[in-house]
A and B are shown apart, each in its own frame.
Chain A
Amino acid sequence: MILAIQVLSRWAIPILLLGITTLGLSRRVPIYESFVEGAKEGWHTALRILPYLVGMLVAIQVFQHSGALDQLINLISPLTNWLGFPREVLPLALMRPISGSGSLAILSQTFATFGPDSFVGRLAAAIMGSSETSLYVLTVYAGSVGIKRTRHTLATSLISDLAGSLAALYIVLRYFA
């Protein structure tokens, strides 16, 4: 089963690429010209995202590099301790919605310190997998089409991240009991 899914993930992109070009030709689409026409949009998309990314990443770096993130963890750890949420995974849980590469770095650090098969290691992996980089998704997706007001979406994402982390804690305690 795992093997089948691994094979699928490795083949998915080549198959998609071959499938779409084959289908295009068979339906008499001038595929190369269509491709170039579509690809022109890539440049504009990347440039449109840039200002949003600069704004967000600068703030994140200032927040993290100054040590403010660590301070925040110290502040909220009594509450999370009470919930049974180990302090060791807090940096990851807080970083997860903010930065993909940042949280991956913290995950790797957690594995190195506690071991991937420890309770903390497993919980960290489950938290990592339970959600996406919400702030990145919001910034890039909304930014790419010039949306300035995302309404309740940030709140929705943070609620679902929290639910994901709590679900991770619950299932890791159960699954590996």
Chain B
Amino acid sequence: MINYIWFFMILSGVITAASKGQIQLVTEGVLKGSEQAVVVSLGLIGIVAFWSGVMKIAQDAGLMQNVARALGPLVRRLFPEVPKDHPAMGALLLAMSANILGLGNACTPLGLKAMDHLQALNPHKERASDAMCTFMAITSSSLTVIPTTIIALRSTHGSASPTEIIGPIMFATACSTIVAIAADRLLRRAAKRPRWK
């Protein structure tokens, strides 16, 4: 599916630019995009290294196992195939806690750490495991309880009550997370069933 979306974006971009008679827009887009990719990825080196380091301390101190045991029951239901004392469980919990707290720049490094541990359990290294699919679906549905950036932006633009949007956002994001979990289960089951004739 990602192949089609990728191709669609490029194809429609080229067609649109050509029909406007401004084909240079495509080339500009290519340059902008690749520059942006380098900025984002280089910008991540420091902070990912930092959190990997901190999480290594936590791991060596056995903290992951402690956290996993405390918050385990709920998350274990979401990821039944991850052994409960495996470091992956602790990493998943930490990544999800960071997401809930909205610790923006901590989320990606912790999430990547969790993916790393899940990959160790994954028998097919190029194909996402069930746990990975669930984890990515939950993460991309947003777990953030307090959307600090949005509140800040509302206040910059002179909102009379910047925080009044918290309630609606909690509702909307809860809906999207529940739908993500349900859709993940349903689609997984649908994919495993033999095709209709």
* A31 (CB) vs chain B CBs: closest residue: B57
Measured between beta carbons, the chain B residues less than 8 angstroms from A29 are 57, 60-61
**Is B176 a contact partner of A151 (Cβ separation < 8 A)?**
no
Interface string of B177-188 (1 = CB under 8 A from A): 101100110011
Interface string of A26-37 (1 = CB under 8 A from B): 010101001111
**Is B166 a contact partner of A2 (Cβ separation < 8 A)?**
yes
CB-CB contacts below 8 Å: B112-163 with A: 112, 115-116, 118-119, 125-128, 132-133, 135-137, 139-142, 144-150, 153-154, 156-163
Complex CA gap A154/B14 in Å reads 24
Interface residue? B30 (CB, 8 A): yes
Known: A29-B61, A132-B142, A133-B140; 17 extra A-B contacts, CB below 8 A, are: A9-B101, A9-B102, A36-B53, A38-B56, A45-B109, A53-B36, A61-B36, A111-B157, A115-B157, A122-B165, A127-B172, A141-B136, A146-B126, A148-B127, A156-B187, A159-B180, A171-B167
Q: Which size class do A's interface residues fall under? A: 35 or more
**Is B57 a contact partner of A20 (Cβ separation < 8 A)?**
yes
**Is B158 a contact partner of A62 (Cβ separation < 8 A)?**
no
* A144 nearest CB across to chain B (Å): 5
Measured between beta carbons, the chain B residues less than 8 angstroms from A131 are 140-142, 173, 176
**Is B1 a contact partner of A58 (Cβ separation < 8 A)?**
no
With A9-B102, A104-B153, A151-B127 as known contacts, state yes or no: A38 contacts B52, CB within 8 Å: yes
* B159 (CB) vs chain A CBs: closest residue: A116
Most chain B C-beta atoms within 10 Å of own C-beta, residue among A45, A49, A117, A133 = A45
DSSP majority for the B interface?
helix
**Is B140 a contact partner of A134 (Cβ separation < 8 A)?**
yes
**Is A130 a contact partner of B53 (Cβ separation < 8 A)?**
no
Interface string of A85-115 (1 = CB under 8 A from B): 0000000000001000000100110011001
**Is A129 a contact partner of B48 (Cβ separation < 8 A)?**
no
B interface residues, Cβ below 8 angstroms from A: 1-2, 5-6, 9-10, 12-17, 20, 22, 25-26, 28-30, 32-34, 36-38, 40-42, 44-63, 101-103, 106, 108-109, 111-112, 115-116, 118-119, 125-128, 132-133, 135-137, 139-142, 144-150, 153-154, 156-163, 165-169, 171-173, 175-177, 179-180, 183-184, 187-188, 190-191
**Is A152 a contact partner of B58 (Cβ separation < 8 A)?**
no
**Is A147 a contact partner of B127 (Cβ separation < 8 A)?**
yes
